[in-house]
Amino acid sequence: MKVRRGFVSNSSSSSFLIRTTDSIAEVRQFLENCIKFGNDNGLTDNDSCSYDLFFEEPVDIKCDIDFVEDIKYYLKEYDVNIEDYDIAVNSAGDNSIPYWMWEISRAKYCCRRVHLGY
């Protein structure tokens, strides 16, 4: 596990970087609705998965300067300018964001999935 100034990443962490005018609450509600959809349609391991199983709390990139500075370290290998995005949603654990969740999110938002760790 890697730790830099309070931001924790392990070798299987990932993040969605989202460009949107939606609030953090709206993004979280969208993701909660996706999880409910997954639970109702057999896409999750069981029918009672929750937000916290997949994600940490969303981060307002425009306001959280410490987060931006910390995540830049992990974005070196990508052609990504973190300041071009509004909200970051980090995985709660190893490989916790399923591919189907990424596909649904990408259909709604202009977003990028990035791997946080080596």
Distance, CA of 55 to CA of 70 (rounded, Å):
18
Residue 117, exposed/middle/buried by CB under 10 A (0-12, 13-18, 19+)?
A: middle
pLDDT value of residue 95 = 67
List the structure tokens of 96.
């916790």
pLDDT value of residue 57 = 92
Task: pLDDT tens for the chain, 118 residues: list them.
Answer: 333 334 444 446 788 899 999 999 999 999 999 999 999 999 888 778 899 988 999 999 999 988 888 888 778 778 888 889 999 998 887 767 888 888 999 999 999 988 766 4
**Nearest of 57, 37, 24 to residue 98 by alpha carbon:** 37
Q: What are phi and psi of 82, to 5 degrees?
A: -55, -30
Secondary structure of residue 106 in the 3-state scheme = helix
Distance, CA of 104 to CA of 31 (rounded, Å):
9
Query: Strand pairing of 59-60 and 110-116?
Result: unpaired
Contacts with 104 (C-beta within 8 Å, 6 or more apart), sequence order: 34, 37
